[in-house]
Structure 1
Amino acid sequence: MSKRGLSAEEKKVKMLEIFHESADFFTMKELERLGPKLKGVNYWSFPSAAGALKQAALTKAQKEVEMVETKIQESHASIDDAEKGREDTADKGGAVDIDEQAERRKLLSIREDLTTQSAALKKELEAFGAADPAKYERKKAAVQICKDAAVRWTGEEWDDLRV
């Protein structure tokens, strides 16, 4: 079975051992020569590996850009489709059908009136919500559950608290 290589931290420790054991000064050339002999430390770097990593990152970034551009185009297309029925025909420069425009404006105003009326009715319903019989019954049941729990935790001598 082949021997496992040293990690970067182990290499640092071994190089420090060389300095501490000898207590001497070394040039880089001497360290490169002594490291493998004394402690078995070998350093290497492959220039092509760095280039391959950069190329992979570039390819990934280009794919992401393409995906974003297609999503933008799809969004613009869906916006255009949604706006087709909402424009006035006079703005399009085509044939003007006044009856359709008037009816559309009338329907939009009716819709606006109904929306405001609905909001007012919801506000009124919230105001009368406290007097709702169903809410009252739920609160009454919750109070009874709380009273039962209080009796259970305080003991039987407080049983006369039940109403």
Structure 2
Amino acid sequence: SKKKGLSFEEKRARMMEIFFETKDVFQLKDLEKIAPKEKGITSMSVKEILQSLVDDGMVDTDRIGTSNYFWAFPSKALHARKRKLEELESQVAESSQKKETLQKSIEKSKLGREDTVERAALLKDLAALRQEKEQLKTEIDKYRECDPDVVEEMRQTNQVAKEAANRWTDNIFSIKSWAKRKFGFEESRIDKGFGIPEDLDYID
């Protein structure tokens, strides 16, 4: 049977072994020779594997002159892996939280739909009650004019207004008399000058 190829993660692990076992610094071309021979990683995939390890902070790299050098120390790699693991765990926790929230929303919406008919009936009743209330209010306003208290209140208000009007009429007549005596003005001239109606009189 044909031998199964290494997975991407297996290749990454074996690449790290090269660094940990040798504790050496390598160039890409070195690793492209060592990896296939010692770890069964095809030379074509070395660059991709290496880059993924650099991206995850597992392998350090630096350019010296025209060449790139790669190295990794167990303690740093361990720290990087721990950090990556924490990051992934955090993402998992966040996803779980989102899922839980979504689940609750779904349950809530289901609950809302279960009694749609009942709710519709209640809303209909509520609307009918509101309409009835408005109609009653209109009726009350219409008949309020016949309310004895309202009639009495209006009568008293009218009486006060009538008394006030008569007081002002009294004042106007007094001023007219005074103006006639003082300046000898004719009554019609006073009325015209001050915009006083000719038929001004007391209210009964």
TM-score, reference length from structure 1: 0.33
Higher share of residues assigned helix? 1
TM-score, reference length from structure 2: 0.27
Higher relative contact order (CA 8 A, sep 6+): 2
Higher share of residues assigned strand? 2
